Amino acid sequence: MKSTFRRFCTARIIEHWIQIVTFSALVITGLSQRFYSLEVSRWIILHAGGIDSVRLLHRYAGVFFSCAVLAHILTAVFGLVIKRWQPSMVITRNDFLNAVHNIRYYLGNERYPAPGSRYSYTQKFEYWGILTGGILMIITGAVLWKPLLITRFMTGEIIPAAKVLHSNEALVVFLIISVWHIYNAIFSPEVFPLNMSIFTGSLSRERMIHEHILELASIEGTTLEEIRAHENDDDAAGER
Amino acid sequence: MKWTRGSLWGVVLLFMLTLAGRAGGEPAQLSDESRMCLDCHAKPGIIKFFQNNESLIAYVDADKFQTSVHNALACSSCHPDFSSGKHPTREFKTKAHYRIRSSLVCRQCHTDEQIKKRAVHRGLLQEEKAGKPPVCTNCHGSHTVTRLSGESSFTNEEQYCSRCHSHSMTMHFKNSDTLSLKVDSLALKTSVHGKLSCSDCHFGFSSEEHPRRNFKTRRDFTLASSESCRRCHFDKYTKTLESIHYTVLSQGKLNAPVCTDCHGSHAIYRVGKERTASAKRCQRCHSKEYDTYALSVHGNALFNEHNQDVPVCVDCHTAHTIEDPLSINYRERIPEMCSNCHAKKEVVGKYGLSTDVQKTYLADFHGVSLGLYKMEKGKLDKPHKAIAVCTDCHGTHNIMNTRGTEASVVKSNLLKRCQKCHADANEHFPDAWLSHYEPSLKRAPLVFLAGLAYQIFIPIMLIGFVLQVLLHIWRYAVNR
């Protein structure tokens, strides 16, 4: 029986690193513009060489981010259509049921947490939140970058609307990452101090049982119940 | 005869008494002739008519004459044609003509050499050469002649100076400029400096001294005179050193205004709440700007409705630290200047104007950039870019009422202004700016709805996250 499982290929690991860098750059240069009156924003703006430099850096980071998102989408489409990957990130009815199931589990009404497949419902919701948010940010960011070009084809009200969308969606994405993602990847007691799987590409069998039991079952050609029964035996043996 | 100590003291005392009587203009024994003349002339009602129908009251105040320096003289000493036996009838064209002739009598005793010693007389004698004879009595009086210096007959300096300076006198400059030296004493008395003495400003001048000063031009004199003001108003003076007026002046453009150009010299009044007067001061040099201002929404309210809420020149330009209005520093402060009224409900509220104008500007791209550029100033070694401020859209001196104007006119004007910086802007572009309105369903519904959606969504999402996290931790703790 394998003790670790490969979850991410090198390309995904590199992609995540690129996302960390571009996202951080965008957050730092973007939020300091949104909350420009805060002392920390002013410090950032001054140390980045002024607001014009910050705007320029933000746009460059935006271009990198857009390229990364485009590459991701193309890879996903290529994988799904040509390589016949499993559409494991697609949100299904099951995910909503799992969400309800997990709340029941937290409240003590279920014995086990919702069984996770390759991606748990929290990971899926987070993924789609970031992806759609990212696309919205790219579009509205482009509108704000080139208002003269946009108003050639559209009403001027698009510009302030894009600004509202851009700055609010930025906050949404930032909150998803800073509250939800950082909790799940760092502070959650199950992974603390850091969930290394996106950096190493692999995950232990123990964590697989806990978080992706359905995937494990399909890899090992068993069923959920067999894995759980086996695990309970091990626990009992350990206690003895 | 042997002098006793007592008789010696008696002589000294007599001598001193005589001196005191002379110097103090004490009443002296009038001559018989004088008494005879005064029999008639000390009574009112004698009037001398001139050919041009001007008249002169030939009344002599006997008491005053008795205390004058000439009290010991007989009338005929100055009126040689007249005596106890003679009283000829004389004809003069005008009163001025008569006065000039009378003054010639003075010069028989007071020779040119004598009177030249005083600077003020030298100027008058020069004028005489130029064909303008002096009239001694204008300054010294006639029957009440008193010493102008060293006498206690003047209770204050102003009285002393005005003996001459209440008459028409002209100062001549080397370039043939002239300046009237006549001071309107009523205006001076009612001015803010009414209680000051002349020498408080005209230092170097007093009842003892009247130095002659030489100036090339009248402007040189004004520039030198205005230096007096700083002795008391040093704070204002130092402020003016930073002003564009001083900068221009120090570049040699002597027409740049100094204190007295705006405040006047002897008739200085507190402008106080009377803002029209304040605006008019600037008009003298900046008439074009004044005229434009007068037609603006502010100027119109000031001049036609006497509205005292509207700004006048000094409210934006300040009175003393007047900065170059084309400088980047000045431009950066414009939103602050406008906000002094337009962000105050108590000022603009009664005209139905929104106080959101400042907030909406500062929250938008231009306002944010302006704030940050200001912050960066001095900290980053970069040239500062100009960014649109209030005046770029609303104008400066020509600010118009935006209400009541057709929206299409406002929009086309706005487009022209956008195009100054954004050359490619088309007719949709100005709509990117919400014209100081907060987004609402009526105005900018797209912006309003987008904002509203997030206002609802973000708290819900955040509460959801926090609940999930708390429940998760709780379950983990329970399971352990």
Model confidence pLDDT, tens digit, residues B62-107? 888 887 888 888 888 888 888 878 888 888 888 888 888 888 888 8
Q: Is the pLDDT of residue B298 over 90?
A: yes
- Identify the top-confidence range among B42-46, B104-108, B165-169, B340-344: B340-344
Interface-testing mutation among A51, A96, A105, A158, with chain B (most B C-beta atoms within 10 A): A51
State how many domains chain A has.
2
Indicate yes or no: CB of A46 within 8 angstroms of CB of B469: no
Same domain, B30 and B135: yes
State how many domains chain B has.
3
Same domain, A3 and A48: yes
**How large is the ipTM?**
0.88
Q: Is the pLDDT of residue B26 over 60?
A: no
How many whole angstroms separate alpha carbon B464 and alpha carbon B195? 78
Residue B335 forms part of a structural domain: no
Interface-testing mutation among B381, B420, B428, with chain A (most A C-beta atoms within 10 A): B428
Same domain, B35 and B116: yes
pLDDT band at B17 (very low <50, low <70, confident <90, very high): very low
How many whole angstroms separate alpha carbon A208 and alpha carbon A119? 11
DSSP letter string, B216-227: SSHHHHHHHHHG
Tell me the average pLDDT of chain B.
84
pLDDT band at B27 (very low <50, low <70, confident <90, very high): low
Q: What is the structure's pLDDT at B146?
A: 65
The parent domain of residue B48 ranges over 25-146
Same domain, B32 and B114: yes
* Whether the Cβ atoms of residue A88 and residue A119 lie closer than 8 Å to each other: yes
Q: What is the mean pLDDT of residues B304-330?
A: 91
How many whole angstroms separate alpha carbon A73 and alpha carbon A64? 14
Indicate yes or no: CB of A164 within 8 angstroms of CB of B375: no
Interface-testing mutation among A35, A42, A159, A187, with chain B (most B C-beta atoms within 10 A): A159
Same domain, A59 and A139: no
- The pLDDT tens digits of the residues spanning B382-435 come to 777 788 999 988 889 988 887 777 667 777 788 988 998 899 899 889 889 888
Among chain A, residues having any CB pair with chain B shorter than 8 Å are 33, 36-37, 42, 45-46, 49-52, 103, 105-108, 122, 147-148, 151-152, 154-161, 164-165, 168-169, 171-172, 175-176, 179-180, 183, 188-190
Residue A10 forms part of a structural domain: yes
Q: Please tell me which of the candidates B375, B446, B454 has its beta carbon nearest to residue A157.
A: B446
Q: What is the mean pLDDT of residues B195-211?
A: 85
pLDDT band at A236 (very low <50, low <70, confident <90, very high): low
- Cis peptide before A193, with omega less than 30 degrees from 0? yes
Residue A111 forms part of a structural domain: no
Q: Is the pLDDT of residue A173 over 90?
A: yes
Indicate yes or no: CB of B380 within 8 angstroms of CB of A169: no
Same domain, B446 and B400: no
Same domain, B449 and B419: no
Q: Please tell me which of the candidates B432, B458, B478 has its beta carbon nearest to residue A160.
A: B432
Last residue of some domain: B121, B146, B171? B146
Same domain, B427 and B397: yes
Residue A205 forms part of a structural domain: no
Residues 6+ apart with CB under 8 A from A66: A138
Same domain, B123 and B32: yes
Q: Is the pLDDT of residue B221 over 90?
A: yes
Collect all residues of chain A within an 8 Å Cβ-Cβ radius of residue B471. Answer: 103, 106-107
Indicate yes or no: CB of A165 within 8 angstroms of CB of B450: yes
Indicate yes or no: CB of B429 within 8 angstroms of CB of A151: yes
How many whole angstroms separate alpha carbon A69 and alpha carbon A130? 10
Q: What is the structure's pLDDT at A101?
A: 92
Indicate yes or no: CB of A155 within 8 angstroms of CB of B471: no
Sign, Cα dihedral of B6, B12, B16, B18 = positive
Q: How far is B452 from chain A (nearest CA, A)?
A: 10
* Whether the Cβ atoms of residue B100 and residue B133 lie closer than 8 Å to each other: yes
Residue B87 forms part of a structural domain: yes
The parent domain of residue A163 ranges over 120-194
* Whether the Cβ atoms of residue B162 and residue B185 lie closer than 8 Å to each other: yes
Q: How far is A50 from chain B (nearest CA, A)?
A: 6
Which helix or strand (DSSP H or E) is residue A62 part of? helix A51-81
Q: What is the structure's pLDDT at B152?
A: 46
Residues 165-224 of B with CB under 8 A from A: none
Pairwise pLDDT comparison (B359 vs B73), residue with the higher score: B359
Amino acid at B95: K
For residue A164, what are its two tokens? 């509202």
**Lowest-confidence segment of A11-25, B113-127, B380-394 by average pLDDT:** B113-127
Which helix or strand (DSSP H or E) is residue B171 part of? strand B170-172
DSSP, res B178: E
How many whole angstroms separate alpha carbon B162 and alpha carbon B186? 11
Same domain, B389 and B455: no
Asked if the C-beta of B470 comes within 8 angstroms of chain A's C-beta atoms, the answer is no
Same domain, B463 and B446: yes
Q: What is the mean pLDDT of residues B361-366?
A: 92
CB atoms within 10 A of CB B89: 5
Q: Is the pLDDT of residue B124 over 70?
A: yes
Residues 6+ apart with CB under 8 A from B238: none
Indicate yes or no: CB of A164 within 8 angstroms of CB of B450: yes
Compare all CA atoms of chain B with the CA of A46 and give the residue at the minimum distance: B376
Indicate yes or no: CB of A157 within 8 angstroms of CB of B474: no
Q: How many percent of chain B have pLDDT more than 90?
A: 31
For residue B247, what are its two tokens? 């900068």
- The pLDDT tens digits of the residues spanning A22-63 come to 999 999 999 999 999 999 999 999 999 999 999 999 999 999
Tell me the average pLDDT of chain A.
90
Last residue of some domain: B92, B115, B146? B146
- The pLDDT tens digits of the residues spanning B232-285 come to 999 999 999 999 999 999 999 999 999 999 888 898 888 766 788 888 889 989
Indicate yes or no: CB of A183 within 8 angstroms of CB of B469: yes
Q: What is the mean pLDDT of residues A179-189?
A: 88
CA distances to A92, A115, B3, B250 from A216, in Å? 19, 11, 151, 88
CA distances to A28, B53, B137, B198 from B163, in Å? 80, 27, 10, 13
